Chain A
Amino acid sequence: MGTNQDDMLRDRADTVLRRLLDGGATDAKVVARAGQDLSVRVRLDEVELVEEAGTCSLAVRAFKGKRVATSSTNDLTADGLDRLVSDALELCDLSQEDPFAGLPDPDELAKAWADLGLHDPACDGVDADDAVRRCQRAEKAARGYDPRINNSEGASFGRTSGGFYMATSGGFRGGYHGSYASLSVSPVASDEGGKNRTASYWSARRQLAKLESEEAIGIEAARRTIALLGSKRVPTTTAPVVFDPDAARSLLGAFAGCVTGDAIYRRSSFLLDHMGERVASPLVTMVDDPLLHAGPGSRPFDGDGLPARRNVVVEGGVLKTWLLDTYGARKLGLKSTGSSASSTGSGAGVSNFFLQPGTQSHAEIIRSTKRGLFVTGMMGFGFNAVTGDFSRGAVGYWIEDGALAYPVSEVTISLNFRELFSSIDAVGDDLDLKSGVASPTIRVAQMTIAGS
């Protein structure tokens, strides 16, 4: 990405900011973005899709005193920009005064920041032919792994990169570039009773060279698919449940949604009224760290323009802080944690949110489980954030005497989140930060497993 694009983003944002203020806004924030995407899908060695595009958009948040409105557009013609500005100004008159609305205190704004290594020019260098070859190699490795792999949902490669620039009337100016590349494979094998089995495996990184090799991704996807063959239900019971990193990640994501300032002032979190208390096992430390070098969710400053900072949300099982943006902090009478997730909306969110890895290997955790369920995938939307009640479909393996005995599907697992996180009795050392929320393997001492 050249400086031409940076100049263009800056000019656009500054122009729109000036027009909003000239038009009657008392304060405003403008975000300009531009990006280039390529995605490619290959199935059974044949190209299925090659998709290429460039995108450009503007989004604004305007204030008239304590009244707020937002608008966005990707129509960058003169007419489109007129509409963007007039919509925001007009909508301010429609919304009602919110005493907590407003830009952050200028003293709090980020003024300088380190390069977090968010953009890898090599990502942009992958062209369609290169992407096709990567998909072909990954899918070939999967199909060659075992003769029982007899079909494929294909392999996909995607890369995206772009620039971002934010300007506010409160004195913030800043932007950065980012990139992200991913490769996934989904082989298919036929099982008894007309069922097919598929498990996918994927790798994703901001730096192209850090992606796992095509062969490794394909083989892991195939291994997971074959391992599902012959899976069956287990009788309804209670037992320890081990979650692999992909499954544990989804638990952690649901937990993260319950520690944002928004969830708290909206009284929509089972953790409400538990600040400073023990909410998880002493083995559990959860961190949100936007400053990790090349982290998938890393950012030098937050959506309010405040410096990004590492927040330890749960330490040794004790709830230490909410994740707060400027607005949520004001609502709760607290200080922002630099966690504004959205540059034009309002709301706090995670950057790189992960469960601190422990010392046990994944294999040791399985080995030390006498009898239980090892969950590798979950399905459905069974989480009530207000009560913490959790119930989802699961697939994985039955553990008998510390070894994987047979694959399991069509069961559900359930337990309230307070008990679930409090009864984590093992945390693995296998943290892989391939997405903004990540976890190592974990084990929950006992859950209800509903099956036959």
Chain B
Amino acid sequence: MTLQHTALPRAPFAPGGPFEIDHERARKLLTVALSQGGDAADLFAEYGLGASMVLEEGIVKSASRGVSVGVGIRVQRGFAAGYAYTEDLSWEALLRAARTAAQIARGDAREVAEVTDRAHPERYLVSVPSIVVAGAGKRDLLLQADRTARAADSRVHRVEASLNESVRELLIATSEGRFVRDVQPMLRFGVRVIVEREGKRQSGSSGGGGRVGMEYFDQPGKSVDDHAREAVRLAVAMLDAREAPAGEMEVVLGPGDAGILLHEAVGHGLEADFNRKGVSNYSGRIGTPVASSLCTVVDRGDLDHGRGSINVDDEGFTPTSTTLIENGELRGYLHDTFSARHFGLAPTGNGRRESFRATPMPRMTNTLLLAGPHDPEEIVRSVQNGIYARRFGGGQVDIASGDFVFSLSEAYLIENGKITAPVKDVNLIGNGPDALSKVTMLGTDLQVSDGIWTCGKEGQSVPVGVGCPTIKISSMTVGGTAVQGR
């Protein structure tokens, strides 16, 4: 691959930029923010560059780029926050934002500590961010996806391929004196095909990415051709899908993307804002069993180049590995500064936000269910009558009750220990602790999903990763249309 590229544009607030925010200016703004009192203040500056290219009907129809820049200033008073952001980085506009945020507080001005640089680990250093690589080579990748998909099967009627890239440059400064910068690259590639046969139509898609450069495509199983063929395989396999069963049965989830089960069933319920407020069904249950003893669940912001990985969170703290559940027992929550203060704990580096337009809250990074002792094939063999799910469309949870759903986009019947006929798109529904207590077998084959998942919470989207081994759940409600004889 040719790596012709231009220099990465730097944020206007970066050193030497037209609106540089250095230690002194950051401290001055934080001082204004705390001029009416308040417990703490922070500043979040973001410069986001995005680009996308979309192919359909054999041509790259449109290419686009976007710039989003702004600074948000927050003042905390107890568990209340005043927040203001500005897209105009002039000094007057920044001061105005600081004064607006300060209105939440009532009292005497607070001292701001000397701000100093804080170092952080590098978890996604890329030699060249893909966004600055010359576009012609990327256009060729999309055209190649089109050719490969069409060549893979004569029933392919349509191919869509897309490449989305971004780089987010951050500066975070706090009244406790932290001053942190990070540059967060992201790449996401996807192929979607529609196959048709005798009036039947079905779609299939495959994609991936992460905080990676163009070298992503050099990894085994992740080339453009691999994704194109996988999308076709999936669509063709599902052409013959039959009505899915309805009711409770044994369910086996394949490794990798099935991690969205954890994301929904436990992950959200363990975000500590819900627990600080006592509204999660996991509130007050630390130290108690909430899953089968096979289950150990961790949140790891430190995976190399992971879609959900971050060197620092959006409050300037470095996440590592947070154990949420250990051998079935609830160990801890995911924290931002608010919830950490409430529980008297250190932040876990999970304070994330979609952009400078919103305030941070506890969010997952890469959430994993660790490997168990069972041979994946043995797991399938153990099922008499059930469902095997390989690919997933997404999920959702009701935090208060813990009820969650996730949808299957590639699933098969298991009959007498063998994977047999494909079944139509269907939802599974369960309750977090109940479903996890029914994990009766866990494979040795832990996989982390390729980088496709985005998590939405209170209107804010952030990229996340998930991962798990093959999982057997002894009973779960399958939401098909075919009511079985009883």
Contacts and interface: CB of A to CB of B under 8 A. Distances in A.
Given A94-B139, A198-B400, A382-B425, A267 B59 contact: no
B87 A72 contact: no
Given A53-B86, A389-B425, A393-B429, A410 B477 contact: yes
Contact of A72 (B66, B84, B104, B244): B66
Interface stretch (B30-38, B323-331, B371-379, B403-411): B403-411
B241 to A, nearest CB: 8
Nearest to A265: B57
- Which of A46, A412, A450 neighbours the largest number of chain B CB atoms within 10 Å of its CB? A450
Given A267-B201, A448-B480, A151 B277 contact: yes
Interface in A28-81: 43, 46-57, 68-77, 79-80
Interface stretch (A135-143, A232-240, A241-249): A232-240
Contacts of B85: 51, 53
Contacts of B56: 266
Contacts of B425: 382-384, 387, 389, 391
Contacts of B162: none
Contacts of A237: 483
B62 A391 contact: no
A392 interface: yes
Contact of A47 (B80, B248, B409, B482): B80
A3 interface: no
Interface string B393-420: 1111111111111110100000000000
B233 interface: no
- Which of B61, B160, B424 neighbours the largest number of chain A CB atoms within 10 Å of its CB? B61
A382 B81 contact: no
A83 interface: yes
Contacts of B103: 50, 128
B357 interface: yes
Interface stretch (A170-178, A188-196, A287-295): A188-196
- Which of B56, B65, B433, B484 neighbours the largest number of chain A CB atoms within 10 Å of its CB? B65
Nearest to B50: A72
Contacts of A54: 86-87
B246 interface: yes
B16 interface: no
A201 to B, nearest CB: 15
Interface string A374-403: 000001111110110101110100000000
Given A53-B85, A96-B59, A412 B405 contact: yes
Interface string A303-329: 000000000000000000000000000
Contacts of A439: none
Nearest to A385: B203
A282 interface: no
A41 B158 CA distance: 46
Given A380-B395, A393-B427, A194 B477 contact: no
Contacts of B480: 391, 414, 448, 450
Interface in A74-110: 74-77, 79-80, 83-84, 87-88, 91, 94-98, 101
B42 to A, nearest CB: 14
Contacts of B287: none
A91 B481 CA distance: 47
Interface string A151-180: 101000000000000000000000000000
B259 to A, nearest CB: 16
Contacts of A412: 246, 405, 427, 429, 477-479
Contacts of B409: 384
B81 A48 contact: yes
A57 to B, nearest CB: 8
Contacts of A272: 201
B127 interface: no
- Which of B70, B405, B427 neighbours the largest number of chain A CB atoms within 10 Å of its CB? B427
- Which of A56, A57, A70, A75 neighbours the largest number of chain B CB atoms within 10 Å of its CB? A75
Given A74-B68, A195-B401, A412-B405, A450 B62 contact: no
A112 B51 CA distance: 36
Contact of B407 (A91, A95, A391, A416): A391
Contacts of A195: 281, 400-402, 431
Interface residues of A, number: 81
- Which of A48, A395, A410 neighbours the largest number of chain B CB atoms within 10 Å of its CB? A410
A49 B81 contact: yes
Given A94-B135, A384-B425, A72 B67 contact: yes
B405 A380 contact: yes
A414 B429 CA distance: 12
A451 interface: yes
Nearest to B204: A386
B359 interface: yes
A409 interface: yes
A393 B481 CA distance: 13
B63 A91 contact: yes
B83 interface: yes
A49 B53 CA distance: 38
Given A55-B87, A74-B68, A43 B277 contact: yes
B69 interface: yes
Contact of A410 (B18, B65, B79, B429): B429
B405 A382 contact: yes
B279 A153 contact: yes
Interface in A171-214: 188, 191, 194-198
A98 B54 CA distance: 12
A452 interface: yes
B7 interface: no
A392 B427 contact: yes
B100 interface: yes
A238 B482 CA distance: 10
Contacts of B201: 267, 272, 386-387
A411 B477 contact: yes
B64 A69 contact: yes
A361 to B, nearest CB: 29
B59 A413 contact: no
A139 to B, nearest CB: 13
B168 interface: no
Contacts of B471: none
Interface string B7-18: 001001000001
Contacts of B396: 379-381, 393
Contact of B246 (A76, A95, A266, A414): A414
Nearest to A98: B61
Contacts of B158: 266-267
A87 B79 contact: no
A51 B80 contact: no
Contact of A53 (B9, B18, B84): B84
A197 B401 contact: yes
Contacts of A5: none
A236 B247 contact: yes
Contacts of A415: 481
B447 interface: no
A196 B403 CA distance: 10
B202 A386 contact: yes
B349 interface: no
Contacts of B39: none
Given A50-B82, A53-B86, A386-B203, A68 B61 contact: yes
B261 to A, nearest CB: 13
12 contacts: A53-B357, A69-B62, A75-B69, A80-B67, A96-B60, A98-B61, A151-B279, A195-B281, A197-B400, A272-B201, A391-B407, A451-B247
Given A266-B160, A448-B246, 13 more contacts: A48-B80, A55-B87, A94-B53, A101-B61, A267-B158, A267-B201, A379-B396, A380-B405, A382-B393, A383-B425, A389-B425, A412-B427, A414-B244
Top 4 closest pairs, chain A to chain B, by CB: A412-B479, A380-B405, A393-B405, A196-B400
